[in-house]
Amino acid sequence: MTSSYNNKWYPWWNSEVDKAGAAKTPAFTEAVGKMGGVRAAHNYDLLTPKEGGTWEKYAPEIENLRKEYRAKLLMSKDDAQFESTWKAFRDALEKRAHWSEMKAEWLETYKADVAANGEF
């Protein structure tokens, strides 16, 4: 089966655009970055979870919790309902996703990474 994708159709993918105004997008992105709308990656953004660790084990459950509680939090009728839902979310996060264990593992991984590679 042939693909409908062709680099000639998507020259922006490789930044090979030679049309007038093509430089506006990178320039605009750079300007927004200077205003604080974009930030550089830090080492805490790039951590790899331990193989077989709590992050690998419970990350799917965190996604399930996010899906379950997102609408409930957004659609809260008042502050009291929001706080009640928020507390239920935090309790479920701890009970179903073992959040304290995940945070401890992440912090351990982060400290080891900083010790090995320095902070950036």
Q: What is the pLDDT of residues 29-64, one digit of tens each?
A: 777 777 776 667 788 888 888 899 999 999 999 999
Half-sphere exposure in the Cβ direction for 100 (13 Å, CA)? 4
What's the token pair of residue 78? 């008042």
Strands (E), 1-120: none
Asked whether the beta carbons of 27 and 15 are under 8 A apart, the reply is no
Contact residues for 85 (Cβ-Cβ < 8 A; gap 6+)? 69, 72, 73, 76
* pLDDT on residue 32: 75
What's the token pair of residue 44? 């805490």
Residues 10-30, mean pLDDT to the nearest whole number: 65
Rg (CA), the chain: 22
